[in-house]
């Protein structure tokens, strides 16, 4: 049993919980993960580690939900050109085949996974009035 400033007696577990909450506010994520990997020696350590592990799990869940919210639906945007450009690089080897194939215009695009990339290669894009 430990005593607080007010003279109240609290158990080792309660003291561990209090200290764990203080550490969560004070330490970095890496330091908290290091403490969470330790093996508890007594009830105080066990309570402190439990509080830290709960915080880390809660933070991980929040991070996952934010990732899900931040992503846009890629079904509608699949293969979309955001900003069309007028120049291309390279040469087309088979013009008759290229005329039959439908491609997006060159420029800034969004991939199926939602990442932005630029495409200027002639065999990957079509220009209006080109070929």
> What confidence tens digit (pLDDT) does each residue in 96-129 have?
777 777 777 778 888 878 888 888 776 666 665 5
pTM of the model: 0.48
Name every residue whose Cβ is closer than 8 Å to that of residue 69 and which is 6 or more positions away in sequence.
Answer: none
Using CA atoms, how far residue 7 sits from 4, 10, 14, 42, 49, in Å, is 5, 10, 15, 23, 26
Distance separating alpha carbons of residues 95 and 69, to the nearest angstrom = 44
Q: Is 59 helix (H, G, I), strand (E, B) or coil?
A: helix
The pLDDT score that the predictor gives to residue 94 is 72
Give the residues across from 108 on adjacent strands.
83, 118
Q: Give the residue ranges of the chain where pLDDT is below 70.
A: 1, 4, 69-79, 86-87, 89-92, 122-131
The pLDDT score that the predictor gives to residue 57 is 93
The pLDDT score that the predictor gives to residue 6 is 74
């Amino acid at each position: 049993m430990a005593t607080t400033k007010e003279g109240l007696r609290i158990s080792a577990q309660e003291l561990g919980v209090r200290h764990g909450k203080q550490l969560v506010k004070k330490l970095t994520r890496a330091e908290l993960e290091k403490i969470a990997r330790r093996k508890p020696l007594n009830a105080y350590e066990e309570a402190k580690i439990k509080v830290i592990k709960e915080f880390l799990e809660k933070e991980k869940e929040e991070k996952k939900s934010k990732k899900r919210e931040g992503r846009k639906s890629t079904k509608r945007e699949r293969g979309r050109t955001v900003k069309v450009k007028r120049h291309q690089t390279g040469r087309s080897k088979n013009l008759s085949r290229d005329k039959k194939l439908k491609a997006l215009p060159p420029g800034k695009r969004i991939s199926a996974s939602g990442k932005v990339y630029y495409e200027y290669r002639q065999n990957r894009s079509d220009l209006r009035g080109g070929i």
